[in-house]
Amino acid sequence: MTADSENDIKYLKAIGHICAMALKKMMEHAKPGMTTGELDNFGKEFLEKEGAQSAPQAMYQFPGATCISISPVIAHGIPGDHVLHEGELINIDVSAELDGYFADTGGSMVVSKHVPEYEKLLEATKSALQKAVHAAKAGQPLNLIGKAVQDEAKRNGYGVIYDLTGHGLGRKLHEEPTNIFNYYKSKDRRILEEGAVLAIEPFLTTGKGHVLEESDGWSLRTIDRTIAAQFEHTIIVTKNEPIILTI
């Protein structure tokens, strides 16, 4: 959608804040010994307390309120009976709706342990998100977002996952522009418009940069079972610095 009124911005900020807080609380709550289903229920209860509803459940009948992915799964992991273990690399993705407006955020973390190999990847992915967010300016090519991600990944010795992209959102979870690539695609001639609402979500990996779908019909894992990380913000594009909704 295009946020073209103060009312739009107000409501987008409200759902963005709820998603950001849900993610923060879930990441703090994730501990060894609990199941991903229990962690998901914790997130669901927070969303409902705030008056919001899970977007994946509402729009796609996803089996969980949030996506919780255990490496080498990096996206769309189904919460369930998996027991979290110390030192696991996991990803939590939270998207929700409030008053007809949607926001989307996500982050990767290591469960209750210091693992330098993972933490180096996490820091690089966070940095790629920051570079990508600030590359999103009205009147500029959309493909500069992907260039920023790919350049930062390469600078840190990583690759990107080519198959997973950001997207537009606002009145739905997925809208135009679709396929906000995490790499520089020179043939992509799209220009960013002022007020565009975008979910920007870099995926960095140590592997070949492709994923495949697991037998559950949802979970996406790296094709070579290498590690990967994701961080995500929902933003509103302006001519200057973007409005980051999911801080």
pLDDT of residue 13: 98
pLDDT of residue 211: 98
pLDDT of residue 81: 98
pLDDT category at 152 given cuts 50, 70, 90 is: very high
Q: What are the residue boundaries of the structural domains of the chain, listed by start? A: 6-244
pLDDT of residue 160: 98
Q: How high does pLDDT run on average in the chain? A: 98
State pLDDT tens for residues 171-225.
Answer: 999 999 999 999 999 999 999 999 999 999 999 999 999 999 999 999 999 999 9
Give the dihedral of Cα atoms 165, 168, 171, 174; nearest 10 deg: -30
pLDDT of residue 62: 98
Q: Looking at residues 55-60, what average pLDDT do you find? A: 97
Q: Which of left, alpha, beta for 139 (phi over 0: left; psi -120 to 50: alpha)?
A: left
Q: Looking at residues 119-146, what average pLDDT do you find? A: 98
pLDDT category at 29 given cuts 50, 70, 90 is: very high
Q: Looking at residues 44-49, what average pLDDT do you find? A: 98
Out of 3.90.230.10, 3.40.250.10, 3.40.1000.10, 3.40.1790.10, which CATH number does the structure's domain 6-244 have? Answer: 3.90.230.10
Q: Looking at residues 42-48, what average pLDDT do you find? A: 98
pLDDT of residue 61: 97
Rounded CA-CA distance 152/183 in Å is: 10
pLDDT of residue 57: 97
